[in-house]
Structure 1
Amino acid sequence: MGHRAAVIWLWAALVLLMRGAGALWLQLPPSGTKCVSEEIQPNVVVLADYAVIYDNRDHAKPTISVKVTSPYGNTLHHQENVTSGQFAFTTSEAGNYLACFWFGSSDPGLDASVNLDWKIGIAARDWDSVAKKEKIEGVELELKKLEAAVEAIHENLQYLKTREADMRQVSEKTNARVAWFSIMSLGVCVAVSILQLWHLKGFFQKKKLI
């Protein structure tokens, strides 16, 4: 029963990780840009296909421009005046990767969408090629997928652990700075109060009130 539960858990993990594979339907505005972002950790394979969906048969299919950037603003993919395309890369830094789409021409009458099939991590892996290369199929192939899922889970946990440590360090530094600022503010208030008392004492002595 424990073995069966472990297999079910691994399958659930694989399904969750495979959620990185999915088609998005983006309605483009006649003018302006439509963007989609995904937070991805380093050393992850990303593969995406995109295509313009246009129902008006009386007019030619409109073209779009595409730009994909990394969290630090590096351009990973850039195409102009296309109706479909593909981009693929391996992430080198952690953060939000941004894919933006806009029409090649600003026609107020344009009404089109972009179908984006964005695959991340093990979802982007070509399992058919893996099966042919390693000559495996059936249960062996599924076990290979589960092994990849376990590795991906381990990498995600390590990534989350690193992020948690970084956030804790930032929080501790922020708390220390707030504490020093509070002490300095209190010191300034005490100093101002002493100066006010000294000034008032001198004023009253000058007026011979004390």
Structure 2
Amino acid sequence: MAGALALAVLLAVASLHAEAVWLDVPQSGTKCVSEEIQSNVVVLTDYSIMYESHPYSHPTIAVKVTSPYGNTLHHSENSTVGQFAFTTAEAGNYVACFWVDSAEKGSGVSVNLDWKIGIATKDWDAIAKKEKIEGVELELRKLEVAVQAIHQNLIYLKERQVVYSTSL
């Protein structure tokens, strides 16, 4: 049980950070990423095509983000750069899919994806300026918010464990 709790805390802490990834999107086909997120969590994402592999062409991509129940939260076409933001309405797996939608032939594109969830979405510089806090006080505020997020994640994981146990 202690090992499961340690794993839960580790997963909760890991989920507090932003994740930046590069996706290799094939010329024909789709590349998707997903994240299991609780309800009432802010998600901010920036994406852009990396042009190093395409110095003379300008391919574009399409993006579609869906909720666990299949609702479209963001849809964009003919993009080279973009962003989406939403607050999760339900807990579950949120999926972002990318595909090349330009007519230019090539081997696909690389997409830089900066996916921020929860407290990673906070603009701490603006908060510090507004509330006139800095140094240790600011770091303590960040830790307080992180502890609250970890606590909420542990409650969520415990509820999921109870639901899973009763469904067996």
**Smaller-chain TM-score bracket:** 0.7 to 0.9
Q: 2:85 aligns with which of 84, 88, 105?
A: 88
Task: Tell me how large the CA RMSD over aligned residues is.
Answer: 1.8
How far has the Cα of 1:161 moved from its partner?
A: 1.2
Aligned positions of 1:13-92 closer than 5 A: 16-18=14-16, 20-55=17-52, 56-59=54-57, 61-92=58-89
CA distance in 1, matches of 2:36, 2:60: 28
Decide whether the 8 Å contact of 1:30 with 1:106 is kept in 2: no
Q: Which of 1 and 2 has greater Rg?
A: 1
How far has the Cα of 1:51 moved from its partner?
A: 0.2
Between the two proteins, what is the percent identity of the paired residues?
Answer: 65
Decide whether the 8 Å contact of 1:69 with 1:99 is kept in 2: yes
CA distance in 1, matches of 2:13, 2:139: 12
- Structure 1 unaligned segments of length 5 or more: list them: 1-11, 172-210
CA distance in 1, matches of 2:64, 2:128: 33
Higher strand share: 2
How far has the Cα of 1:164 moved from its partner?
A: 1.0
Aligned positions of 1:1-210 closer than 5 A: 16-18=14-16, 20-55=17-52, 56-59=54-57, 61-171=58-168
Q: Which whole-Å deviations, capped at 9, do the CAs of 1:185-208 have from their partners, x for residues lacking one?
A: xxxxxxxxxxxxxxxxxxxxxxxx
Decide whether the 8 Å contact of 2:61 with 2:100 is kept in 1: yes
Structure 1 equivalent of residue 5 of structure 2: none
Q: Secondary structure at the match of 1:72?
A: coil
How far has the Cα of 1:98 moved from its partner?
A: 0.2
CA distance in 1, matches of 2:72, 2:35: 15
CA distance in 1, matches of 2:64, 2:24: 16
The code of the aligned residue for 1:34 comes to K
How far has the Cα of 1:150 moved from its partner?
A: 0.7
Tell me the TM-score normalised to structure 1 length: 0.71
CA distance in 1, matches of 2:44, 2:31: 19
Structure 1 runs (4+) deviating above 4 angstroms are 12-15
CA distance in 1, matches of 2:48, 2:59: 11
Decide whether the 8 Å contact of 1:42 with 1:93 is kept in 2: yes
- Which structure would you say has the larger RCO, counting Cα contacts within 8 Å and 6 or more residues apart? 2
Higher helix share: 1
Tell me the TM-score normalised to structure 2 length: 0.87
Q: Which whole-Å deviations, capped at 9, do the CAs of 1:118-150 have from their partners, x for residues lacking one?
A: 001111111111111211111111000000011
- Structure 2 unaligned segments of length 5 or more: list them: 1-9
The code of the aligned residue for 1:62 comes to P
